[in-house]
Every structure is written in C-alpha cells, then in structure tokens.
Structure 1
Amino acid sequence: MTARPSPTPRTRTRPADRREMVLKTASDAFGARGYAATRLIDIADEVGISAPALYRHFPTKYDLFAAAVDRLSEDVSTAVAEVTACDDPRDELRAVLAAFTETFLDHRVSGNLYRWEQRVLREPDRVRTREARIGLHRRLRSLIEAARPGLVRPSADLLTVAALSVAASPATHRVTMPRRAATDLVAGAAMTLLDVDLPAPTPTPAESPGLVPAGRRESILAAAVALFAHEGFHEVTVEDIGAAVGLPASGVYRHFSSKSAILTASLWRTADRTTDAVASALARAQTPEQALFSLASSYSTLCVDDPDIMSVYLSGTGSLPDDELRALRRQQRTTVDEWATWVVRARPDLTAPAARFLVHASLNLAGDLVIGRPDVDAPTVAAASAAVLLG
C-alpha cells in the first residue's frame, strides 16, 4: 500500500494591516477606558495576536497610546486642512466645523482620547499635539472674529472652545443618526454659537479658603475629588488621600472600602445633583423655551461651582467597576432623555435622536468651558449651552 504524502504545512499569512488593526483597537480601548485601565494583553486578544507580536509593532503601552493620539490629531488636521478658504468667513467656518464633526463621528470611541492626552503624554509628544490644536483654534478664532468684527479676543476664544466642544461631542455618546444628518445637526449647532450675545462678565469676588467639611467621610470625598481631577485617578493613592485630610490609609478605609469606592461615591453624588437640578429648573419655567434655558443655567452653575468634580465626572467613568458604570449610565440617560423631551417640545421639527445629540453637545460644552478656566462665570456658560439647545 502506497503511503500518502505528508500534507504540506500551511503557512499562516500575516495580515498586511496588522499594525493598523492594533492601533484602531487600542485607540478605542484607550478612548473607552482611559490609559491606566487599558491592558495590552486585552488589546492583543481582541486583535487575535500574541502579546509578543503586539510588542513588535509597539514596544510599550505608552508608545501605543502616543501613536493613537497622533493618529487622532493627524486625522483632525487632515480633514480641516482640506477645507479651502472662502470669501465668506461664515461659509468657511461652517465647512471647518463640519469636517471636524465628521472626524469625531469616525472616532466616536477613540475621540475621548482628547480628555486625558495632556495628562499622559510626555513633553515632546504633548508639544506636537498642542501645536496642532493651537493651529486649529487660531483658524476658527480668526474666522469668528472676521464674521463678528468688534468681538473682543476673550469672547472669541471662548466661542472657539465652545464650537469645538460641540463639534467633538459625538465622541461622548452613542446615540445613532444618519451620518449626513448628524453632521449637519452638530455643525449647525456649533454655528449658532457665532451669534450668541455673551453676557458681560460678572466681577469675580476674591476667593477665600472657606470652611471644610467637619465629617471625615465628606472631607475624604472632597480631598479625593481634587486629587483625582488634578493628578488622575490611577496616579492617586489612598495614602495620598489620607495625607490630604490628616489621616493614615487605615483611617480612609474605615469610611471607604477602596479607592474605587471613593470614586464611585463621588460620581454618584454628581449624578444625583444633576438629576435634582432638573426638577428645580423646570419649576422656574413656564414654557419649553424657558425650561431649556433654566436647565442650561442650572447645569452651568453646577459646573462653575465645582469644576473639579465635573472634570472627574467627564473623564473618570472608565475607572468604575462595570456594574457601577452601567448603573451610572442608566441615570445619565434618564437625565438626557428629560432634557431631550423639552428640546422636542420647543423644537417640534426635531426627532428624539436629534434632540439627544443636542443635549449631549450642550452638556459637553458646559463641562469643557469650565475645566481649566477659573474666570468663566455661570451666565456665560448658560448662554452658550442654551443656544445649542434652542438653535
């Protein structure tokens, strides 16, 4: 009997775009969970390769993160650079905002990288992305100033930040709409900011240190929020939190079982305050339009009064346990749906998904305007936030 020939070993073909697959998967992971909570082994598993194979493309997690930020920055710069100059600054501004919006519709998960890139990136990488961001800011600001002669520079800067925040807002939620309709809606909402009459800034009273909570639990929460906002959740230890309130780590553990429990309590406190503000805002309104301005005003006041907790609220949810994150998102959706109901009542031409898009844009704008800007006041934030909702 003739022996069968041994089968020829099959050569496993390496995908030509493996590096791109790794980079796309990592970008989404970093965008969803943040830098510290993302593990390379999870990225390798999702791509279907071994960890050593991943390391051949990116030697360290930092290298992969920096490459992801670079890709997002390059995609934004390329999209905006393709917009040619127009005789009418408003036409050019709308085209730039539409290109920016489309980029974030393409990066709805990885787009959140911009929330923590400054904390993670090393100086040479930070400088490179900062230069790209500054270039974009200056182009939009010059168009805004050309469209509104006489607008003072601080107001032009604020409107630029607000418009970019609205255009980037699709990366903060998962509401679905047809792409062209979403682009037109979001870019149009950003354009409404061009004609907002910002209120005269109110004098900022000299800050005093004030009083601190007497209860240990409240003191721990307050200290932890400040540390999380400025240092990052994963960079802060329980010992750091204890030291801020004059306690050893064991003293902190008497009130909270873990650092994650402190973060959870802080975020739930903010979610509850946001929910409570809805009822009080609606009680002051008589029409849907008044309801939207009252909602925007209440939320803006929350943001201005406690920018640290808003910073943690916007960027810290990826560090929550999965069950807590799902519960928090359910409450967030309830708040968004309430706002969206009043948007539709004020603007019956809008669909419910379109209204939710605008609510997320308005909330994103309020948070972005107060973080790192101690001089902005609540009436100014509210004026911009309400304009996005009312059109």
Structure 2
Amino acid sequence: MVADRSEATLASARPDARPAATDGESGPRRRPKNRKAQIVRVAARAFAERGYHPVGVDEIAAEVGISGPALYRHFRNKYALLVAAAEMGAQQLLDAAKAADNPALEPEPRLTALIRGIAEYTIDVRREGGLYRWERRYLEREDRARIRVIYTDLHDTVAAAIAALYPGADAADVQLRSAALLSAIGSITAHRTALSTTRLLHLIDEIGWDILRCELPPAPGPVTGDPILRGLPVISKREQLLTEAIRIFGRQGYHEASIEEIGAAAGINASSVYRYFASKADLLAAAFHRTGERVAIANSEALAEATGRADAAVRIADRFARMTFAMPEILPVYFSEFSNLPASEQHRLRSVQRQNVLEWANLLEGDQVEARFRVHAAIAQVVDVGRRVRFDGRPENLARVSALMRAVLLGVPAPSDPVAQPE
C-alpha cells in the first residue's frame, strides 16, 4: 500500500555544477565550500529511493560531478555516507523545528508555526526524508543510538508545545500525539502523489490539528502476568517460509538475509527452500503479493460489512492496524525492499499497491488527491505509533491507533475552545 520509491532516478538528484568546477578533473578546480553537504544530500536521496545496498559510491560521485577517489577524500566508505546522511537529516529536521518553535506564543499559534516549519522542511527534502525511517537497520548500534538522541529531542520539542495546549494531560498521551503528528508529516516522503506546496501545507496543517483534537481512548495499564498467546502455527512449509522471510527481511534487511537463515527459521535446510521458491528474490516477491492480497481481502470485507463510506474507511483502518500489529515487520519490508524486486514484479505490484490506496481513498469525502495523502498518513500512524507502543497488540493500544487513523482519514471538527478538549 505504498507508492513505488524506485520510480525516481538518481539523475534528477544531481545538483547543478559546471564541468570545470568538478573535483578530480582537468581544468580550474573551483571546489565549492558545500561540496560535502552536496555529497550527503545526493547520497541520502539515492539511499532513500533505492535502498542502501543497491547504490554504489561511484554512482553518487557521478551525480555530484566528481570522481570516486575525490568522494573518498570526504568519506572513507559507503557506510560513512549512510551515517552522515542519516545524521544530517535528523539534525536539520530538529533545527527546523527549533527555529519554528516559539514558547512565548499562545499554544495554538505556537503549534501552527511548529507544524508549518517541520512541514516546509519535509517538503523540501521529500525525496530523501524517509532515509532513517526505513534504512536505519543498516546502522551500527552506536550510530543508531546517537541519531536517536536527535529524534528524541525533536519529539520532546513537539511534545512541549502539545503539553502547553493541553496542560495537565497525561504524559503518555502527549508523547503519542507527538509521534502521530510527526508521523503524518513524514508520511509524504513515502509516496510521490503530487500536490502544490500551498495546498500540501494547508492539508498537513489540517491533518495535524485533526490529530491534536481527536479524543484518545485510555491507555492500557502495565503488563501483568504472562502474555496471552493467540493463534495456531500453520503447518504449510511454504507459509512458514513466507512468514519467517518477512520477519528476517524486516529485522536485518533483504541483502543481509540468507536463504540458509530463512530455511533454518522454518525448520528446513537451504536446499529444501528451493523446492518452494526459486530464489531469494522470488521469496521477497511472494511476500509482497501475499501482503497485497491480505490488504485487498481486508478492503473487500470492510466494504461488505460497512453501512456507509466513512464506516468502510474506518473498518479498513481497524483491519489494517490489526494485521500490522500481528506482524510488525510487514510494513517496513513493504516500504523499504521494493527496489530489490525484479522490474517485472515491481510493475505488477505497483498496480496492486495503487489500487489498494485508491480503493481506500475513494471512500473519503472531498478532493481525491488530498484523500490519498490522508490514506498514506493513516498508514504511517500504524508504523510510527505502533513502534512507539512496541506493537503491543492489546485492545487498548489498537483502539488508540485506530482513533488516530480515524481522525487522519475523516477529520475532527474544531472545537470552540481546544484547550478544554478532554484527554
């Protein structure tokens, strides 16, 4: 249910540069002062659109207009580029939020300015803005921890403004709204639906306030006793392989996963895996098709049970949240591994993905392009708010995620006094 990130090409990411000004070539050497930042920006865009592994250092160098050896004068290897790109993106997003935040303002204008500042920056870096979200599993633990501190500061900045709007609100609710708000803004980096900047800023502001005004169901209490396990394992080896492949791809990435590891997780050796799937790429394609089928079935069931269009949209949201919480790796794989499929499979799956989004968006009132943005923002709630609650699938958590998705999809009427909104 995500737009294909492989449609964009590296060529369109190339910054303007004159041949005489490039590094590592004959002629005058007018190396710009921001060369390192140019390299990082192009690398971030390439990694975000195509994934970390498929992109080569020489490709990045060519797009910047320098030689491979010249690039290595700035970064010792491709991994260093990934770290720099992820860290720069996080820091610049935090800087944009800090610059827009003014605690001296009243809560509503403060949050409006904050939403706009974050949204403007995200629109500017839309093509590379999802890098950390989907490729962070390739970062080493200490690098990931350092960058996470920046994002924590970002969340705290947004949470402080929300707490000012709702004084006395439960801290967990404030943090959840902060995650949901940032998730909705960041969702524009996961698809390529076109909308003018003016309209998009207005829509993001609307969605942001829908999130801030919606009523959240109570949070669950602390976990006590042993968790209740539901469901029985399937006995089909093919289904077991698909399930384990999705989990392993989601945990460590397609390129780091091996057929041997997937087979072992399903209780068979590597050679036996090939009785069910011709290759690792075939296994990935089957996982994508299975996900698309499950979403299509959920859509059909929701439509059959619904009493109206809005009711159908909410029923799809509820099913989508339950499906994702049952297997949290499914959406990260769906978002981040598309470029590893063969071109023929990409074309087939792109049609399925778009149809699922359009089916959902068609249930919403108003402009259909804006409806698609709302659907993607609702999907993002499952990913990011789900991570915030560690995909704890207790009914209370699912109800909170569903409430946020409902607000994003259908909107929330503005109260006369938002500060009085119950928490």
Taking structure 1 as the reference length, what is the TM-score of the superposition? 0.89
User: Using the alignment, how far apart are the partners of 2:232 and 2:409 within structure 1?
Assistant: 37
Aligned mate of 1:382, from 395, 402, 408: 402
Deviations 1:270-292 (A, max 9, x none): 11111221121122223332222
Between stretches 296-305 and 237-246, larger displacement belongs to 296-305
Aligned mate of 2:262, from 241, 256, 269: 241
Structural RMSD (CA): 2.3
> What is residue 73 of structure 1 aligned with on the other side?
90
Give the partner amino acid of 2:400: T
Aligned mate of 1:103, from 103, 117, 121: 121
SS in 2 for 1:116: helix
Deviations 1:156-190 (A, max 9, x none): 22221111100111101111111122012113202
User: Using the alignment, how far apart are the partners of 1:186 and 1:368 within structure 2?
Assistant: 17
> What is residue 385 of structure 2 aligned with on the other side?
369
> Does the CA contact (< 8 Å) of 1:225 and 1:309 recur in 2?
yes
Q: CA deviation at 1:225?
A: 1.4
Give the partner amino acid of 1:36: H
* 2:128 is aligned with 1:128: no
> Does the CA contact (< 8 Å) of 1:229 and 1:312 recur in 2?
yes
User: Using the alignment, how far apart are the partners of 1:87 and 1:196 within structure 2?
Assistant: 23
> Does the CA contact (< 8 Å) of 2:138 and 2:252 recur in 1?
no
1:29-108 maps to which residues of 2 (within 5 A)? 29-83=46-100, 84-108=102-126
Deviations 1:30-83 (A, max 9, x none): 001221222212223333433222222222001111111122112212211112
Structure 1 residues 29 and 289, CA gap change in structure 2 (3 angstroms)? same
* 2:291 is aligned with 1:270: yes
Give the partner amino acid of 2:329: D
* 2:393 is aligned with 1:338: no
> Does the CA contact (< 8 Å) of 1:311 and 1:371 recur in 2?
no
Structure 1 residues 269 and 371, CA gap change in structure 2 (3 angstroms)? farther
> Does the CA contact (< 8 Å) of 2:187 and 2:376 recur in 1?
yes
1:206-221 maps to which residues of 2 (within 5 A)? 206-208=227-229, 210-221=231-242
SS in 2 for 1:82: helix
> What is residue 180 of structure 1 aligned with on the other side?
198
* 2:211 is aligned with 1:193: yes
User: Using the alignment, how far apart are the partners of 2:276 and 2:349 within structure 1?
Assistant: 21
| Overall identity of the aligned pairs, in % | 35
Give the partner amino acid of 1:297: D
Give the partner amino acid of 1:49: I
> What is residue 24 of structure 1 aligned with on the other side?
41
Give the partner amino acid of 1:25: V
Structure 1 residues 124 and 222, CA gap change in structure 2 (3 angstroms)? closer
Larger radius of gyration: 1
Higher relative contact order (CA 8 A, sep 6+): 2
Aligned positions, number: 378
> Does the CA contact (< 8 Å) of 2:51 and 2:135 recur in 1?
no
* 2:247 is aligned with 1:226: yes
SS in 1 for 2:362: helix
> Does the CA contact (< 8 Å) of 1:301 and 1:378 recur in 2?
yes
> What is residue 317 of structure 1 aligned with on the other side?
338
Q: CA deviation at 1:117?
A: 4.6
Between stretches 158-167 and 114-123, larger displacement belongs to 114-123
Structure 1 residues 224 and 123, CA gap change in structure 2 (3 angstroms)? closer
Give the partner amino acid of 1:55: Y
Between stretches 137-146 and 11-20, larger displacement belongs to 11-20
> What is residue 356 of structure 1 aligned with on the other side?
372
Give the partner amino acid of 1:360: H
Q: CA deviation at 1:154?
A: 2.1
Give the partner amino acid of 1:242: G
User: Using the alignment, how far apart are the partners of 1:39 and 1:209 within structure 2?
Assistant: 44
User: Using the alignment, how far apart are the partners of 2:171 and 2:392 within structure 1?
Assistant: 14
> Does the CA contact (< 8 Å) of 2:313 and 2:363 recur in 1?
yes
> Does the CA contact (< 8 Å) of 2:163 and 2:169 recur in 1?
yes
Give the partner amino acid of 1:382: S
**Structure 1: runs of 5+ lacking an equivalent:** 1-9
Give the partner amino acid of 2:295: T
Q: CA deviation at 1:201?
A: 4.6
User: Using the alignment, how far apart are the partners of 1:132 and 1:179 within structure 2?
Assistant: 27
Deviations 1:185-214 (A, max 9, x none): 113202211121122356888233753221
Deviations 1:103-160 (A, max 9, x none): 2211122111122353222344323321211111112222222222343222222221
In the TM superposition, structure 1's runs of 4+ consecutive aligned residues that sit over 6 Å from their partners are: 202-205
**Structure 2: runs of 5+ lacking an equivalent:** 1-25, 412-423
Give the partner amino acid of 2:103: A
> Does the CA contact (< 8 Å) of 2:250 and 2:332 recur in 1?
yes
Between stretches 224-233 and 47-56, larger displacement belongs to 47-56
SS in 1 for 2:329: helix
Aligned mate of 1:290, from 305, 311, 326: 311
